[in-house]
Amino acid sequence: MTAFTTTSENGIAIVTLDLPGEPVNKLDAGVVDEWEQLIERLRGDAAVRAIVVISGKPDNFIAGADIEAFTRLASQEEAEALSRRGQEAMQRVEQFPKPIVAAIHGPCLGAGYELALACHWRVATDSPKTQLGLPEVQLGILPGAGGCVRLPRLIGLRAALDIILAGKSERAQKALRLGMVDEVVPKSILRQVALAAADRLARDGIPKRRPPRRAVDALIEGTPVGRQLVYRMARRQVLAKTGGNYPAPLAALDVVRIALERGAPEGYRAEHERFGALAVTPVSRNLVQTFFATTALKKDDGVPAGTDVTPHRIRRLGVVGSGFMGAAIAGTAVLNAELEARLKDSELPRVGKGLKAAIGILDERLKRRRLTRSQHQRLAALLSGTADYSGFTRADLVIEAVFEDLAVKRRVLAEVEAEIRPEAIFATNTSTIPIRDIAAGARRPERVIGMHFFSPVERMPLLEVIPADRTDAGTIVSAVRFGRAMGKTVIVVHDHPGFWVNRILSPYLNEAGVLIEEGVPVELIDRAMTRWGFPVGPAALLDEIGLDVAQKASKVMHGAFGERLTPSTVVGRMLDDNRLGRKNARGFYVYHEGHKTGVDERVYRVLGVKPLEGFTPEAVQQRLVYLMLNEAALAFSEGVVRSARDGDIGALFGIGFPPFRGGPLRLMDDLGAQQVVETLERLHTAHGARFAPAPILQQMTERGERFYPD
């Protein structure tokens, strides 16, 4: 296996990395060995004055260390050795007697960027495909090949912490501003500019650098007291964001501090020791599994492999219903899929409001420099609106996001079918109504499918695609691929009430209502669940979703699943008091100018309950979590999701189930079916039949089975 090829020009050795048979370059032990042998050869070659490292892949520099290798790590010591090996290799690059220039196009991440950091000059392309960063903490580890030591020295402490602690990557222009790279050029001249830089460095020597930082930064970061302040604030921010559930960013902060305060050798020791300790944790294992699940879903068309399908390419989108969801679907589609989107509603003023909201999504990206002005103008021109179906004959896909009512949705389907071409697809964004019920009267039921987006559409990464019983494979694949083009992670779920995400969420939200009825204070419930790892608690989530929407969904679920999913009385009473949640600034919380402040104490009077003492966060967590786990097991046994992978990704990306726990199905495997059953039986005795363990869990206990068989 030869990953590297070398050519030479004017005494500059051009080393090209192109891992055979791999879509991306990644660094594993074999590649590092080959690299080391190669530069040792070039060290002794008198004709070689400098080296340029460049990728042979069309759109990828180096995606980092081989993450698959982590799944084979058997011990902390083995992981530590992996990091030490990486550090030593980068040391040899940094101390190489001839200049080494990194010519970067495409993702340059993790060990890939750590290699660039060890090089003496970095040239990157201005392509949107080029991103530079250290995403390791997103895998539950830290940069283990010198990144924690070299990046702060290159760009300054706070700028480096901003990247390392969040696992960020930056586009080339921002990376240049930060000092992460030295030059940014069009792809067409990357090689040329890198060669010129290598020649210049070989001739004039490697320039001394100082982090490009403002005077105030230099002042703060230039003094031990100032740096201590930075470390303390960074620690507070990490804890506020992670709730202490993610050890990697705190460990990385420690390593950066040790490297700056005690010197590089101590920094490297701390780096490989902490890397070793983190790489074998369940948190890292779960985050690495999530990485592989999402990359696998990027290629999964939602139908069995080998299915003969003719996908329908979506070039023009129609959206019926220009409310909150419809407008966001149109705006997100234009932004990410860059196609024409036509918004329809019954009256022009509503259409206008929807178009304004859709363009608002583009405005927000312009404001954050994620779009140039010309890109913004070009994309905004793709949006149009109408109060009739004019222009819909050209649509390849029409998504309806109208009122959550079966009759209304059936009427819209009939109207749209009368307009669109036979091969065009009709998708419904219903969140609970079975697709087969909506498709019942369809002329072309094989072209009807559910596409369930989550609010806010432009930010929530998940899309549930729900085929009905007569939807054909071509329609499924088209919807899945379109969802991916919109930047979504797509799972295909079966047409059961509530689909997957709302199915496992309903009992969790119901039980939160029951706890409030029992006198458990709202803030105790929400704090218990954010401490457990959810981004927001159930009461705050109900306010976000909208209590009217939640009530509709809970009625459908109660209708479908009976007593077990009996909704609490809380949501109904809130609605009686005209409390819809954030949308009318009246919910469980007080909203001031759109900002959520504390719990609205008046809700207890509205609900006729007196908040009581004596409840523990653990008791709250157990009741809410185990109801969700049990429902996940039930829905899994009914085949609602195609695999445990899809179920867990759905929970993580749909409702923010804590990624460090891996997802409800992975968590039950970690707890063991027996322990889950025993806990549910205890809760059943204490709180009622809704906690009766799912039969599949009993069976798994008897047979020692897991949701992830491997």
User: Interface with ligand T1G by CB under 6 A: which residues?
Assistant: 23-24, 26, 63-68, 86, 107, 109-111, 114, 135-136, 139, 141, 143-145, 147, 292, 295-296, 298-299
By the 8 A CB rule, do 195 and 4 touch?
Answer: no
Nearer to ligand T1G, 110 or 354 (CB): 110
Which phi and psi angles does 650 have, rounded to 5°?
Answer: -60, -45
Strand order of the sheet with strand 4-9? 4-9, 12-17, 50-55, 100-104, 121-125, 183-185
CB of 161 to ligand T1G, least distance (A): 16
Where on the phi/psi map is residue 696: left (φ > 0), alpha (ψ -120 to 50), or beta? alpha
Q: Which is nearer to ligand T1G, 136 or 183 (CB)?
A: 136
* 464 is known as an active-site residue: yes
Q: Toward ligand T1G, which CB reaches closer, 297 or 627?
A: 297
Half-sphere exposure of 158 (CA within 13 A, CB side): 18
Query: What is the sign of the dihedral through the CA atoms of 636, 637, 640 and 643?
Result: positive
Spell out the long-range contacts of 643-648 with Cβ–Cβ below 8 A and sequence spacing 24 or more. Answer: 644/707, 644/708, 645/293, 645/296, 645/297, 646/297, 646/491, 646/492, 646/493, 646/500, 647/500, 647/707, 648/290, 648/293
CB of 678 to ligand T1G, least distance (A): 37
Beta bridge partners of 462: 489
Give the count of beta carbons closer than 10 Å to the beta carbon of residue 62: 28
From the CB of residue 587, how many other CB atoms can be counted at a distance below 10 Å? 24
How near is the Cβ of 79 to ligand T1G at its closest, in Å?
A: 9
User: H or E stretch including 132?
Assistant: strand 131-133
Given 464, 511, 544, 631, the catalytic residue: 464
Say how far apart CA 647 and CA 636 lie, in whole Å: 8
Whichever of 110 and 467 has its CB closer to ligand T1G, that residue is: 110
Q: CA-based angle 579:610:587, to the nearest 5?
A: 15
Specify the residue, 134 or 509, whose C-beta has the smaller distance to ligand T1G. Answer: 134
Q: How far is the CB of 210 from ligand T1G (least distance, A)?
A: 25
20 or 422: CB nearest ligand T1G: 20
Backbone φ, ψ for residue 464 (5° rounding): -95, 125
SS3 per residue for 469-524: CCCCHHHHHHHHHHHHHCCCEEEEECCCCCCCHHHHHHHHHHHHHHHHHCCCCHHH
The neighbouring-strand residues paired with 318 are 342, 398
Residue 79 to residue 524: CA distance in whole angstroms? 40
Least Å distance, CB 23 to ligand T1G, is 4
Tokens found for residue 611: 């908040």
- Taking the least distance from each CB to ligand T1G, the nearer of 206 and 296 is 296
Residue 89 Cβ vs ligand T1G, minimum distance, rounded to whole Å: 10
Closest CA to 362 of 458, 482, 227: 458
Compare residues 21 and 608 and give the one whose CB is closer to ligand T1G: 21
What beta strand segments (E) does 25-120 contain? 50-55, 100-104, 107-109
**Mind giving me the DSSP string for 158-172?**
HHHHHHHTTT-EEEH
Task: Please tell me whether residue 57 adopts helix, strand or coil conformation.
Answer: coil
Between 141 and 317, name the residue whose CB sits nearer to ligand T1G. Answer: 141
Q: Helical H runs in 183-323? A: 190-204, 215-221, 224-242, 247-262, 264-279, 282-297
- 641 close to 509: Cβ distance less than 8 angstroms: no
In the complex, the smallest distance separating the C-beta of residue 466 from ligand T1G, rounded to whole angstroms, is: 24
Closer to ligand T1G at the Cβ: 111 or 676? Answer: 111
**Whether the Cβ atoms of residue 365 and residue 373 lie closer than 8 Å to each other:** no
CB of 265 to ligand T1G, least distance (A): 18
Q: How far is the CB of 93 from ligand T1G (least distance, A)?
A: 14
Of all residues in the shown chain, the one whose CB is closest to ligand T1G is 110
How far apart are CB 111 and ligand T1G at their closest, in Å?
4
Instruction: Cite the active site residues.
Output: 464
